[in-house]
Amino acid sequence: MHDASLPDMFDRMISNLFDGPAIRSIEEGSAKSGIWETLEVSGFLDALVPEAEGGAGLSFAETMPLFLAMGRRAVPLPIGETMIARAVLAKSGRTCPSGPIVLGLPSLVLPGAQHAEYILTEKRGELELSCIKDANYADANNYAGPHEIITGKERSGVEEAAEPLSTAGAVLFAALIVGASDTVLQMSVDYALHRVQFGKSIAQQQALQQNLAVAAEHVVAARMACETASSQDHWPSQIAAAWSKIVASRTASVLVRTAHAVHGAIGISSEHELNIYTKRIQTWRLAGGTETYWAVIMGRDMIADPRPTLPLMLQEMFS
């Protein structure tokens, strides 16, 4: 399954499965069994599972394009979470269930939990796989996302050390933000070019050009942080994962604000797809730990490490 064309194959598959109407239908609670069966048959859910365990044996870096593609399509199901969960379970010698899995990460929101069958948590290196129906959660519905957002018990603050499952999840959600940001940025540029006011397109307004340029800079920075975090031979280090989630979450705030300013009222209408993406971006910003959570984790680790700051960052990011 190590093939340069894999990202294109995956992108074509999910673009067929998750167009605008399909996403809205899933958000409203329609059946997803046929979609999940297609994903199962494709083999992509086992992308990170070692070849010795029957998977594709892809590295985290090789899987990054798949995560970005999921973001570009605003995928509402926990596909990336299931990929990570299956890999973690397989490496620990545990049996992997066939249904969707969400990750129990340091966050009050679990995107896609309404559509999941299991939740995987990790505490001090011990894994626990539970049926989602047995978890403590409640429905939520606000500007940050539709009613598939699930809330769980609040964690006991940032004193809890981030586990390997948490670092992988942080990079995943950062990549999803970046992928969705690519789509939102392109939608905003296209809309600005075609929206005419007072006889000329709004793209000619200098203030709008400046705001879009700043948003684009943030997206590029977030992409670089994600690619750096996944460039190591092993799974992302805690500092690299923290940095990717911090940068991506900050990007989310800037991009969503800019995109809706460009689109105006039409961007929040049910007929327009912009709000599908911006809601998903805000959801992923909260998922897996906010930028504040990871900033504290990163700062604490760097203060505790005796290495000078620059060598520490270079070694953690690239070694």
Q: Does some domain include residue 270? A: yes
Mean pLDDT along residues 144-163? 41
Between residues 175 and 129, the one the model is more confident about: 175
Q: 187 and 110: one domain?
A: no
pLDDT score for 159: 34
Residue 156 lies in a domain: no
3-state secondary structure of 21: helix
Is the model's pLDDT at 157 over the cut of 60?
Answer: no
How many CB atoms neighbour CB 255 within 10 A? 28
Nearest one of 52, 4, 20 to 183, comparing CA atoms:
20
- Encoded tokens for 178: 């970046």
Q: Whole-model pTM above 0.75?
A: yes
What is the tally of structural domains in the chain?
A: 2
Residue 42 located in a structural domain = yes
Same domain, 195 and 264: yes
pLDDT category at 138 given cuts 50, 70, 90 is low
Q: Are strands 109-110 and 145-151 parallel, antiparallel or unpaired?
A: antiparallel
The token duo for 34 is 């046929």
User: Does residue 159 form part of some domain?
Assistant: no
Here the CATH number for the domain that contains residue 72 is 1.10.540.10
Residue from 252, 248, 255 nearest 227 by CA: 248
Same domain (yes/no): 203, 135:
no
- 79 pLDDT tier (thresholds 50, 70, 90): very high
Tell me, yes or no, whether 147 and 169 share the same domain. Answer: no
Q: Does 146 lie in the same domain as 181? A: no
Secondary structure (3-state) at 107: coil
| Range list of H helices, the chain | 6-17, 20-27, 33-42, 60-72, 79-91, 164-194, 206-229, 238-263, 274-286, 291-304, 309-318
Residue 118 counted as domain residue? yes
Domain that holds residue 313: 164-318
Q: What is the CATH number of the domain that holds 220?
A: 1.20.140.10
Bridge partner residues of 200 (DSSP): 197
- 94 and 58, same domain (yes or no): yes
pLDDT digit string, tens, across residues 51-71: 998 899 999 999 999 999 999
Q: Which of 117, 151, 185 is the last residue of a domain?
A: 151
**Same-domain status, 172 and 115:** no
- Of the CA atoms within 13 Å of residue 124, those in its CB half-sphere come to 0
Is residue 1 in some structural domain?
no
Is residue 158 one of the residues assigned to a domain? no
The answer on 216 and 144 residing in a single domain is: no
The tens digit of pLDDT for each residue in 210-258 reads: 999 999 999 999 999 999 999 877 788 999 999 999 999 999 999 999 9
Same domain, 114 and 19: yes
